[in-house]
Amino acid sequence: MQLTHLDEKDRPKMVDVSDKDESFRVAVASGIITMSQVAFDMIISQQTKKGPVLQTAVIAAILGTKRTSDLIPMCHPLMLTSVNCDVEELPELPGFKLTVTAKLKGQTGVEMEALTGVSIGLLTIYDMSKAIDKSMVISDIRLESKSGGKSGNYTRTPA
């Protein structure tokens, strides 16, 4: 089997998508950060010294989504048409779930963009809260769904 990111001489390459048809593509990814009750309460009440953690994480997630091709070597620079972020409070953990939805009309998918956005957003929560709790855990970063393109639709089945 020939890997798509290697040429016939096994040299790294970016996949050529110039002959692919454009289609409307959407990817949704999510991840979780768990933390101490103290850190959770301080973030919710906006008592952290570094400012509004969740709002900053959303901005970071959008920026991470937009800059994916700068971070992942073989990703194409994409003209995203929409990036939406949602932060869900999970007091039972305690922690937060960050979900990123990326959209475009193009020749290649946006899964990596959504996953990168989630990762950067969660890392921002960690960075802004590490003075309170260094034991935070980032987990369950995953693709929830994707649509469009030759490979069709995918939706994660509930566990």
User: Which residues are the active-site residues?
Assistant: 127
CA distances from 115 to 14, 30, 134 (A): 19, 7, 23
- CA nearest to 136, candidates 153, 156, 122, 157: 122
SS (H, E, C) 39-83: HHHHHHCCCCCCCCHHHHHHHHHHHHHHCHHHHCCCCCCCCCCEE
